[in-house]
Structure formats: C-alpha cells, structure tokens
Amino acid sequence: MSVTFCGLELVHPIVNGSGTFDAIAARQAFGPGFDDVFPFSAYVSKTITAAPRAGNPPPRLFEVPAGLINSIGLPNKGLDGWLASDLPQLATLPVPLITNVMANSAQEILPLVDALDDRPEVAAIELNVSCPNVRTGLDIGSDAGELGRFVSAVRPRTTKPLIVKLTPNAADVPGIARAAEAAGADAVSLLNTLRAFAPAPGGAGAAWLGGETGGMSGPALRAVALAQVRAVAACVAIPIVGMGGVASGRDARAFLDAGATLVAVGTESFRDALAGARIRDELAELSANTGLVFS
Amino acid sequence: MSVTFCGLELVHPIVNGSGTFDAIAARQAFGPGFDDVFPFSAYVSKTITAAPRAGNPPPRLFEVPAGLINSIGLPNKGLDGWLASDLPQLATLPVPLITNVMANSAQEILPLVDALDDRPEVAAIELNVSCPNVRTGLDIGSDAGELGRFVSAVRPRTTKPLIVKLTPNAADVPGIARAAEAAGADAVSLLNTLRAFAPAPGGAGAAWLGGETGGMSGPALRAVALAQVRAVAACVAIPIVGMGGVASGRDARAFLDAGATLVAVGTESFRDALAGARIRDELAELSANTGLVFS
Amino acid sequence: MPVAGTPRTTAPPGRRLLTVGPRAEYGAYIVLSAADLDGPLPQPGQFYMLAAGERWGGGEDERPYLPRAFSVLRVGEHGLEFMLERVGPGTTRLAELAPGDGLWVTGPLGQGFTAPEDERRAVLCGGGVGTAPLALLQDGLRVAERPAPVLLGFRDHAHALGAALIPGSRVATDDGSVGHHGLVTELLADELDDNDHAVVYACGPPAMLEAVRALCAAREVPCQLALEAGMACGFGACFGCVVPAADGSYLRVCVDGPVIGGERLDTCLVAGHAA
Amino acid sequence: MPVAGTPRTTAPPGRRLLTVGPRAEYGAYIVLSAADLDGPLPQPGQFYMLAAGERWGGGEDERPYLPRAFSVLRVGEHGLEFMLERVGPGTTRLAELAPGDGLWVTGPLGQGFTAPEDERRAVLCGGGVGTAPLALLQDGLRVAERPAPVLLGFRDHAHALGAALIPGSRVATDDGSVGHHGLVTELLADELDDNDHAVVYACGPPAMLEAVRALCAAREVPCQLALEAGMACGFGACFGCVVPAADGSYLRVCVDGPVIGGERLDTCLVAGHAA
Ligand SMILES: Cc1cc2nc3c(=O)[nH]c(=O)nc-3n(C[C@H](O)[C@H](O)[C@H](O)COP(=O)(O)OP(=O)(O)OC[C@H]3O[C@@H](n4cnc5c(N)ncnc54)[C@H](O)[C@@H]3O)c2cc1C
Ligand SMILES: Cc1cc2nc3c(=O)[nH]c(=O)nc-3n(C[C@H](O)[C@H](O)[C@H](O)COP(=O)(O)OP(=O)(O)OC[C@H]3O[C@@H](n4cnc5c(N)ncnc54)[C@H](O)[C@@H]3O)c2cc1C
Ligand SMILES: Cc1cc2nc3c(=O)[nH]c(=O)nc-3n(C[C@H](O)[C@H](O)[C@H](O)COP(=O)(O)O)c2cc1C
Ligand SMILES: Cc1cc2nc3c(=O)[nH]c(=O)nc-3n(C[C@H](O)[C@H](O)[C@H](O)COP(=O)(O)O)c2cc1C
Ligand code: FES
Ligand code: FES
C-alpha cells in the first residue's frame, strides 16, 4: 500500500483533509497512545493564516442529509503562534507533516511560505485557494488566470512540494488545475467544501450559521468530488489528492480509480476518530482481492 | 397560497422540475383521474430539442446518499414530434404549461422559440442553458457573457415569459443570473443537477452510467441550492424558481425565504407521485402557523 | 387473466401507507404481505414500488433513498404478497420489516402479462426472484382452465426452496442440488421440443431472459418477458429504466413494461442490470 | 471524584461497538444502558458520542448522520447509563434501541467536574436532561462523604419524573405540577441565601446555565457549568462546538469542556443552542 507522493514515501494512501483532524486535541482526548494507531500516512494541518483568527461565531455546524455544513471560519493561532506552539507538537507525530496555508493575496502568502520553507519539520505545503478575492468576492481559486499568477508567485519561494487545494465552486475546475500545474504546483488536492446555506428553524430567511453561509462536506458530495477528480486527472500529469465524502475503502478505491494518488478523509473522521485506519484496511483488502496496485 | 409569476396566476407556488414528471405517463399509470389531484400549479415539460433524441444508453440511474445521479440524456421526440403528439395532451392539463427547450447555439434555439411563441397552449418558455458549448466544452450557462448573448438573441422572438434555467456548475452564479436579467429574462430557475460521477462496482475507474457522467439531484444538494438561490436573489429583481432537493413544506418554505417565488419539486416526486401536493399542503400549514405570506 | 388489449389496472395516485402483515421465509427468500384494502387487484406481471414506512435510509452507504420495484407474487388472505431476496440496502431493509410496520406502496404499476392469443399453451419460465410474477400468472391461468407447466431455475438449494411458492413447478439448479443440474432454459428447450405451439412467459435475470428471447426467436415461439431495470419512480417520470428496443428506440420498463414481447426488444442484456 | 488538576480520563481511540442492555423510562426520559467492558470508568461530567449500530440515518430529513453527545448518567450494574429525551432524529433513533442492539460509542470524552477546592459545600443544580451528569457527580460526592443538595428544574410533570434518577433531589417545575412552581434558579438562590460558602455544579439549557453563571458571579460563588453545544466529533477535530470565552476567544466544549468554570465564559447563551 505504500505510495510515493511528490517525493514523500508514505506507508499508505490515506491522509486527512485539512481542518478535519486536530492531532493535538486527539492526544488530549485519547491519550498520547493515539500516535501508535495514527490513522493517516501524512498529517495535513488545518489552514494557517498570517494573523491569528478566532473563527466564526457559533453555531458553526449544521447537519444535512448524509453531510455537514460548517462555518468554522479558519480559527488558528496565526503563523507565529502556530510555529511556536503547534509545530513542535506536530513535529513529533509518526508521519510527515503537510502544512496548509491561506492568504487573500500573493503578497500576503509569501511570508507564510518563506517561514514554512525554513522548517525541516514541514514536509510539504498545501495552498488553500478557496479564499475570496477582496475585489471580486469570488474565490482566488475560481479563476484560472488569477490562480496561475498566485501559484507562480509562490513557486520560487520554496523547494518543498507545493500542493494547490482547488475550490469546487468554479465552472472549469480542470482548466484551473491545469493553470496550477503550469505555474509549478507539484500536486493538486480537491475538493474543498461546496458553498451551502443552512436556514434557521424560525424561517424568514435567517441563517442558522453564525458565519451566514458555510461549506458542505460528507457523503452527500462524494459523487460531485469524483466527477471533478476524474475531470482533473484527465487534464494534468501531477498527482492528485482526492477527497469528498470518503467513508469506506470502496470510496477510497473509487477516488484512486478516478485518478487520485492519495485520498483524504475529512468528515468521516468526525464519526469515528479511527475511520482513516478502517478505510486504509478496507482498501488494502479490496486491493488484495482485485489484484489492483497503487500507482 | 396563490401567487403571480411573470403574469401567470398560479394557485400555489409548487411546480415540477423539468424532466422529473411525465404528465402523460402519469395518466397512463394512475388513470385520467390523476388530473383531478394534479400536484403542481404549473407543469414544466421536459427539455425539448430541435431534433428527436433517443437519450443515453442505460444504466441511466445511480442512487447516492440522499440523492440520485441521472444520465438520461434528454430523450424527446424533437420539436415537431412534441408539437404533434405531446402538446395536445399537455394542453388539457388543468394547469398552465411551461415548455423547456435547449439548443447548443442561439441559431439553433430560435426556431424552437418561434414555434412555441405561436402556440397559445404554451404559457411560458424555460431555456435550459446547461448545454455544453461545442467549442469550449463548458456549459453555455457557465459564462455570463456567452449567456447574455444567448438570451439577448432569444428575447425579441417571443412575448411569452422567458425563464432561464441556470447551471450550478459555475463560479459566479449570481453574476450569470444578472446577465440573464440584463438580457431580458423574465425569471431565472435554479439549480439544475450538479455534475457527478458514479463508479461501476467492478472498479478500475469505469463509469456505471451509460452516459459516463451524470447530474446529481435530491436532498443531498439542497443546501447548495439554497445558497445559490439566496445569492441570486440578492442580485436580481426578477422572480426565481428555486429547486434542489425539496422534500417537505419546510424545505419549500426555506426556498421561498431565500428569495424564490416558485419552488420546483423534482426527485421527491419519484418517491411519491403526489409529493408535490403534500409539500403544497405542508407549506400552507406552515405558512398558516407562522402568518407568513407569499410575495 | 387479461387478454391482449385489456387496459392495464391503474394505481391509485401517489403512494399509500399499508401495514405489514405476516411474513414467511422460503430459504433465501422472504415473502412479505400487506393488506391493501383500498387498492385494486393487480394483474399478473404488474409491480409495486415499495419503501419502508420508517428508516428508509441509513443502511449501506446511507442508502436506500428511492423506492424499490417488486412484482406482486400473489394476492392472498393477508393481502398483497411480495417475494424478495436481500441483495442490497433496500431489500435488506424491507426484509427486516415486521408485522405491524408501515410499508409505502405505489401500484399496481405497468403492463402485465396477457393471455395466450390463440390455442397456444402457456409455458412459464422463471429464474430466482423472477419466480414472483409467475405465481399470480399461474393462478390466473388455472382459473382460466389453462394449466401450464412452470419451470424454475435457482442458484442452489437455499434458493430452490423458493420453488415451493409455485406448487408443481419443475426446478433446475446451477449446482445440481435440486432437480435438473443446469439452466432452466434447458428445461424450456425440452418443453418446447415436446410441443412448441406455445407462448412462453418468463421472468428472471437478464442473461436468462436473453437466452429465453433468443431461443423463442429461433423457434418462432412468442414470448412475454417480464424485465427488470434500475428504477427511480416506477410511473414513467424519470426515463431511467430503459431497455433498448428492436426499432432502435428505448422502452421504459415501468410504463411500456415490465412485460414486453420478446420481438420488441433488441436485447435483455443491459450493462449494469443485475446479471 | 477528581480534584482539580487530576488528568481527565482519556478514551480508547476510535469508536467501539457496544451492546445495548436494559432500558428504562422515567416519564419523558429514556435511560439507555450499555456494558463497556473494555472502557475506562468515566469521571463525572464526561460524555460519550453515541450512534446506533444500525440505521443511523433515514429519519427526519434523512438524518441523523453524525454521532450525538450524551453525558454519562451513571455507571450501573448494566454498564454505562445515558439519560435521553427525544428532541430530534438522533435522540429518536437512540430511544428506539432495544436490548441486544448495537451502539457505537466514543468516550469518555472531555473535561468533567472537579471536587470543591476548599471546604466549600457542593450545590448541584440541573435542568431537564442536565440532570444526567449530576447523578454521577452526586455518587462521587457521596463516596467522598460530601453529600450535596440537588436541585432540579423541569418543564412539567412528565419531565419531573426524571428527578427519580437522583433520589433526594428537590424539584421545581415551570407549570407547578411538581415541587416548587418556578425556576430551579430560584431554589438555587434560596440555597445560597442559606449558605454561600459553596461551589455550584450546574448542567441544563443555555438560559438556565446563563442564569446560574450570572447569579454565581454576582455572589462570587464559583461555579462549574457543564455546557451543551452542537457537536460533530466530540474530540476536538472539527472546531464546531465553541462557546465564547471571557477573554474574547472561543472554547471548544468537547475538549476545553464540557465542564467550564463560569468565570471563563462570556455567556452561555449561544444562538442556535437549544434554549
Ligand atoms: C419490475 C420489477 C420487478 C421486480 N420484482 C422483484 C421481486 O419480485 N423480488 C425481488 O427480490 N426483486 C425484484 N426486483 C428487483 C428489485 O427491485 C431489486 O432487487 C432492488 O431494487 C434492489 O435494491 P437494493 O437496495 O436491495 O440493492 P441495490 O444496491 O440497489 O443493488 C441492486 C442492483 O442495482 C445495481 N446497483 C448497485 N448499486 C447501485 C446504486 N447505487 N444505484 C443504482 N443501482 C445500483 C446493481 O446492479 C445491483 O446488483 C424487481 C425489479 C423490477 C424493475
Ligand atoms: C456534552 C453534551 C452532553 C449532552 N448530554 C445529554 C444528555 O445526557 N441527555 C440528552 O438527552 N441530551 C444531551 N445532550 C444533547 C444531545 O446531544 C442533543 O439533544 C442531541 O444531539 C440532539 O440530537 P437530535 O438529532 O435528536 O436533535 P437535533 O435535530 O440535532 O436537534 C437538537 C438541536 O440542534 C439544533 N438543530 C436542529 N437542526 C439541526 C441541524 N440540522 N444541524 C445541527 N443542529 C440542528 C437545534 O437547536 C435543536 O434544538 C448533550 C450535549 C452535549 C454537547
Ligand atoms: C469542519 C471542517 C473544517 C475544515 N477546515 C478546512 C481548512 O481549514 N482548510 C481546508 O483547506 N479545508 C478545510 N475543510 C475541508 C476538508 O479538508 C475537505 O476538503 C472537505 O471536508 C471534503 O472532504 P470530506 O467530505 O471527507 O469532509 C474543512 C472541512 C470541515 C468539514
Ligand atoms: C431524472 C431527471 C431528469 C431531469 N431532466 C431535466 C430536463 O430534461 N431538463 C432540465 O432543465 N432539468 C432536468 N432535470 C433537473 C431537474 O429539473 C432539477 O433541476 C433538479 O433535479 C434539482 O431538483 P430536485 O433535487 O428536486 O430533483 C432532471 C432531473 C432529474 C433527476
Ligand atoms: S422508473 Fe422512472 S421512468 Fe421508469
Ligand atoms: S465537537 Fe468537534 S471540536 Fe468539539
């Protein structure tokens, strides 16, 4: 089941989706022994921004049929806080660390990338480009030209593998993936949550979520994710981290078959902290039965 | 519960989604008495094209968590066949008829619009713009400029209300709705199905559906639909037909609260041919309880 | 039983909540009953769309979501009877329903079997759950005083116990554990060798139906095939349940069928329909 | 019971499938039990994430999908006990589980109550299902020979039957059908009027907790509040379960709580948390 991804040797293809697993809190809840059963072959941090963010006011969650809408608002300690207090703890995880970062301009992202490039504990950098452009209100990642410029600015600043996490809220996701590849991305990951709205029970159009709109994840969007991964795989040569509603080894297999090299598990971990390990085992069994191999 | 929509007086706000209810087949299955309990206040035909289409090879359906992927492929008798054999039967329905049409260029759509404009049985025309542009492969409806030109070409050809059914596979759905409005659309409807992929059980990346990719509908996408309706309502003054996973009066209420004037029921009718009537009744009860009125 | 041209029995509009009555097991099969006091009597070969009254969902991969199609097996003292086999989340959920539980039904739906047009004898041929519509058909033929041989094919012993649903049937099993060791279409060929002034009524998996279709076409014996297809609605709304017709068009199994004359079909083998 | 600074009991990693044992009804409440042979003993105030072993889903609006948080009520002869009220699709599904059914659990989770730091007496104050964590707490205090008054508020008679879960408790009801006619916080004020050298342990709906918090702040009585919040994971993964802290940040109820000192909170009133 081992797999090479952007030069990283990973023992299996299952990682976590950014922002869906707090390895530090997991040690608190399950004890330090959690590291011994760590379900992922690499750990993706939640999104880190330059300045600290408190996140959105509650409520932050709304359950939908076979899915979840969240409006967490990317709470994090900011780059300095993360480097000082989280990184040392994450560096002791038994797997490589991929750090996810976001900013709403190339200018603002560069210091983040520079700082991470300096840290040997960081194995790879993931760019979250589902960040609204202040001028247009649309995600930076929803326009191929804009995304290309963004990635081109980042690329020269680090020799670490650079993964671009695409936004699904776009007309032409494969075209955008191509732009990321052309600008020097080593991999793309997708999909991020779909923009969604949860009505407050009282009605009259009020939003349930403190952050007004949110993003939908979970099995409800798996088929949409598979379509996008498949379309992107047909257009780019760089590896793909596929995700969206993965809940079983069969689902993971479908993403690999659609062209992904790694598969990320997000919401399913909320139902079971060891879902990633179960999915890994189911995948191994499926692959053994069908004789399929990992690329 | 009565509502005025583009000059049509409708007895309640619940209609069907195009292609999700065959009123002629319903008479065959339930007898002609079905007209007496007809669940919708207007009937939207399935998409009609200039030439007849057989539709996609089976399988055409794949069930997903709280939803359905279809790859029907718009089978229809073509304009002439529809006018000759379906229209006379649909004209005797107890409710106004909205005819949905599609073509992949303005040139090709005009004869359809001209022919429908001639027919007094047709109360309004819905343009399905989720049709791939032959040149770019993207939906005509996914680009504001292209859609604006398309609608501008159609607008002068008919005095009937013109509804533009937007595609959800776009980065900036509100911007596209604005383009439709500016080009003279009397209303917009959304959302159409989300592009989705169903893997064949055998694996290895093969598609389950005869048409390879399909479109996802049902409760799984309701929250995405609500977000898009809400965003569009904030940008346009023309009325909106909201749809996507409506399964209860509460869901219909949420779409009305988000800014829709009519609510269309699609997949839920597959579970119960009279779902539209139940939803109408639940909506009336909810509205009575909360004192909310229809706009 | 209806002669050709008799209008199909139409369903009351919309779905109706019935109460599950006694259930029985026949090896691998479950027979579920539900009294349908307000519904019409179905014709042989018609079907119903079924869903559990509660908890239709939450099974394998969060399914089922849509209702599932089932041929009516018989109308007995406890009402409608359905024969089902657990093959996925929908049938698994239906199989666990207990007397008193709610059952959503829409039906009877579709075009059923019609009586032999001339003095031809009827020959009934079923495979697996394809046994179901033949039971009501045989009852109808018996009432019409046209008794007919019933040939049934099953995978193995546990499945062959389903043959008890049609007393007097002859059985073939894939593994030879019961009756003829081989395919039910071999029994059918023998039967037609004896006397091919017949109409064949068949229901079963696509591969079996295709064999029946080809065999009957070769011998110029008319056949009425009760088809299966993945369905979303069952009443012509979704255009999802199609099979390729001989004329190059597609037929909707739910409204144009499920019983379709073999001569109208291109093939019964549709990718994705259970083999 | 743990003194402040005692490490929390950690959960075995991942979810585990237990078997439901006997269940009981106390008016509007159900007590569900499940033997957790491999799990550690929970501390008072800790909670578990629960989901039915089968058919978690397919209820109202195709939910539930995520597991649901429940305080441990007690550890009795049949194992872990949970007290629950049907308020939506998750609790409805859990309430219909029968002995022998599967139950997924993750836990014990979170930070529970800690023993009074000095010679202060404990006063326990609960509302509705907020009764649950006080039962185990009272057991712990009794073992520590620090018996404490327990004040419980309920909506009406059917709910007040839940008070039987903590023998010796004093009850207030909104409708006056049982005990004091009014709010449980009125009983709490009386109790503190008597003797405010106390620590208040409270669990209940946000409005009640907020009243307790304000009342204790005004009297400078320390309080430990067991909060509720909509949760997806229960172990700090989703950042969804936050409440606003006094310092302007947000606390995660599942890892920073559910028991949080009143002084650390800005308010217990969070839009969308059950009132
Ligand atoms: C007219 C008619 C009459 C029938 N009568 C009977 C009867 O009397 N007794 C009986 O037992 N059965 C009968 N069937 C078949 C029955 O409807 C199916 O067995 C049932 O729908 C299976 O549902 P499931 O959820 O248990 O299995 P599914 O998971 O739906 O699997 C059943 C088949 O569907 C396909 N499939 C797998 N996954 C999916 C998916 N996600 N979406 C769509 N398709 C998928 C595969 O081919 C699989 O073998 C009849 C079908 C028709 C059309
Ligand atoms: C630490 C902790 C301990 C708890 N202990 C207990 C206990 O011991 N006993 C007990 O009965 N309960 C307890 N609860 C509360 C319990 O978790 C909830 O009652 C349960 O989650 C409700 O689930 P449901 O599906 O039945 O209802 P839901 O439908 O989830 O409704 C419950 C509340 O959630 C909100 N809501 C409504 N719809 C949605 C939606 N789609 N998505 C998100 N939120 C929604 C509303 O405020 C509603 O009132 C505890 C909660 C926490 C956090
Ligand atoms: C609660 C929550 C928080 C998330 N936070 C982040 C984040 O900080 N950065 C990011 O790139 N993606 C974030 N995501 C998106 C996930 O990484 C993933 O792309 C998405 O949830 C789809 O996968 P899933 O269906 O398996 O959850 C978050 C998702 C959820 C549900
Ligand atoms: C089987 C099926 C066929 C459809 N056919 C059409 C069509 O012909 N034209 C069209 O504009 N939309 C078509 N749609 C889209 C629906 O009208 C509707 O936009 C979509 O299904 C979302 O609503 P729902 O979730 O209530 O089904 C179809 C949807 C389904 C499920
Ligand atoms: S099942 Fe929907 S048209 Fe046949
Ligand atoms: S419930 Fe997920 S962080 Fe608390």
pLDDT tens track of chain D, all 275 residues?
788 889 999 999 999 999 999 999 999 999 999 999 989 999 999 999 999 999 999 999 999 999 999 999 999 999 999 999 999 999 999 999 999 999 999 999 999 999 988 889 999 999 999 999 999 999 999 998 898 999 999 999 999 999 999 999 999 999 999 999 999 999 999 999 999 999 999 999 999 999 999 999 999 999 999 999 999 999 999 999 999 999 999 999 999 999 999 999 998 987 655 44
Write the pLDDT tens digit of every residue in A112-163.
999 999 999 999 999 999 877 767 777 888 899 999 999 999 999 999 999 9
Are the beta carbons of B60 and B114 closer than 8 angstroms?
A: no
pLDDT class for B199, splitting at 50, 70, 90? very high
Round to whole Å and give the CA distance between A164 and A220. Answer: 23
Q: Is the pLDDT of residue C30 over 70?
A: yes
Answer whether A203 touches B (CB < 8 Å).
yes
pLDDT at C273 over 70: no
pLDDT of residue A201: 84
Both tokens assigned to A179: 């732009």
Tens-digit pLDDT profile for residues C146-174: 989 999 999 999 999 999 999 999 999 99
DSSP for chain B, written as a single string? --EEETTEEESSSEEEPTTS--HHHHHHHH-GGGGGG---SSEEEEEE-SS-B--PPSP-EEEETTEEEE-----B-HHHHIIIIIHHHHTTSSS-EEEEE--SSHHHHHHHHHHHHT-TTEEEEEEE--SB-TTTSSBGGG-HHHHHHHHHHHGGG--S-EEEE--SSSS-HHHHHHHHHHTT-SEEEE--PEEEE-B-TT-TT-BSBTTBEEEEESGGGHHHHHHHHHHHHTT--S-EEEESS--SHHHHHHHHHTT-SEEEE-THHHH-TTHHHHHHHHHHHHHHHHT----
Helix (H), strand (E) at residue D106: strand D102-109
* % of chain B surpassing 70 pLDDT: 97
Q: Pseudo-torsion of CA B200, B204, B205, B209, nearest 10°?
A: -20
Least Cα separation, residue A61 to chain C (angstroms): 20
Q: Is the pLDDT of residue A241 over 70?
A: yes
The C-alpha of B37 sits at a distance from chain D's nearest C-alpha, in angstroms, of: 25
Q: Say if strands D250-252 and B67-70 run parallel, antiparallel, or are unpaired.
A: unpaired
Chains that touch B (3 or more CB pairs under 8 A): A, C, D
Task: With a cut of 50, say whether residue A295 has pLDDT above it.
Answer: no
- Residue appearing with tokens 């993750």: D106
Ramachandran angles phi, psi of A249, nearest 5°: -60, -35
| Residues B90, B82: Cα–Cα separation, whole Å | 10
Query: How buried is residue C119: exposed, middle or buried, by Cβ count under 10 Å (0-12/13-18/19+)?
Result: exposed
- Residue C275 has what pLDDT? 42
Which chains border D (3 or more CB–CB pairs < 8 Å)? A, B, C
What DSSP character marks residue C129?
G
Q: Which residues of C touch D93 (CB under 8 A)?
A: 55
Average pLDDT score, chain A = 95
CA angle at A208 for the pair A203 and A211, rounded to the nearest 5°: 140
Q: Are D62 and C57 an interchain contact pair (Cβ–Cβ within 8 Å)? A: yes
Residue of C nearest to B53 (CA): C249
In which band, very low, low, confident or very high, does the pLDDT at C250 lie, cut at 50, 70 and 90? very high
pLDDT at residue C23 greater than cutoff 70: yes
Question: Which one of B271, B274, B279 would you mutate to disrupt binding with C, by most C Cβ within 10 Å of its Cβ?
Answer: B271
Per-residue model confidence as pLDDT tens digits over D78-137: 999 999 999 999 999 999 999 999 999 999 999 999 998 888 999 999 999 999 999 999
Mean pLDDT over B28-35 rounds to 97
Looking at this protein, which amino acid is placed at residue B53?
R
Q: Measure D231 CA to ligand 2 centroid, in angstroms.
A: 8
- According to DSSP, residue C161 is labeled G
- The predicted structure's pLDDT at residue C4: 87
Instruction: Classify the C-alpha dihedral C264-C237-C134-C208 as positive or negative.
Output: positive
Query: What is the pLDDT at residue C2?
Result: 87
- CB C137 within 8 Å of CB C124: yes
Q: What is the mean pLDDT of residues B285-291?
A: 77
Q: Identify the H or E element spanning D71.
A: strand D68-71
Residue C63, token pair as written in the block: 């399914």
pTM over 0.90: yes
Whether residue A132 has a cis bond before it, omega within 30° of 0? no
Q: How many C-beta atoms surround the C-beta of residue C99 within 10 A? A: 13
User: In this structure, are residues D129 and D150 in contact, taking their beta carbons and an 8 Å threshold?
Assistant: no
Q: Is the pLDDT of residue C58 over 70?
A: yes
Instruction: Using CA atoms of D73, D75, D79, D83 in order, give the dihedral in degrees to the nearest 10.
Output: -10
Nearest to D124 by CA among D152, D89, D95: D152
- For residue C55, name the pLDDT band (cuts at 50, 70, 90): very high
CA distance C93 to C103: 11
Q: Which of D57, D66, D229 sits opposite A270 (nearest CB)?
A: D66
ipTM associated with this complex: 0.96
- The pLDDT assigned to B291 comes to 53
d(CA C78, nearest CA chain A) in Å:
36
* C93-99 average pLDDT score: 97
DSSP 8-state class, residue A239: -
> What DSSP character marks residue A85?
I
pLDDT, one tens digit per residue, over A36-46 is: 999 999 999 99
Tokens of D254: 């599942």
Ligand nearest to the CA of C48: 1
CA distance B29 to C15: 12
Residue in D closest to B251 by C-alpha: D61
The Cα-based distances of C237 to B26, B272, D90 in angstroms read 7, 11, 33
In this predicted structure, what is the pLDDT of residue B140? Answer: 85
Which residues in chain B have Cβ-Cβ distances shorter than 8 Å to C62? Answer: 65-66
CA A262 – CA A266 distance, rounded (Å): 13
Spatial separation of the C-alpha atoms in residues C151 and C127, rounded to whole Å:
9
Annotation says B6 is catalytic: no
C-interface mutation test, from D54, D60, D92, D97, most C Cβ less than 10 A away: D54
Q: Which amino acid is at A154?
A: V
SS3 A74: coil
Is residue C34 within a helix (H) or strand (E), and if so which, with residue range?
A: strand C29-35
Contact (Cβ atoms closer than 8 angstroms) between residue C50 and residue C8? no
Is D102 part of the contact surface with chain C (CB cutoff 8 Å)?
A: no
Closest C-alpha residue for ligand 3 atom 28? A19
Mean pLDDT within B149-155: 97
Is the model more confident about B292 or about A66? A66
What crossing angle do the helices spanning A275-290 and A249-257 adopt, rounded to 10°? Answer: 60
In total, the C-beta contacts within 8 angstroms joining chain B to chain D are 5
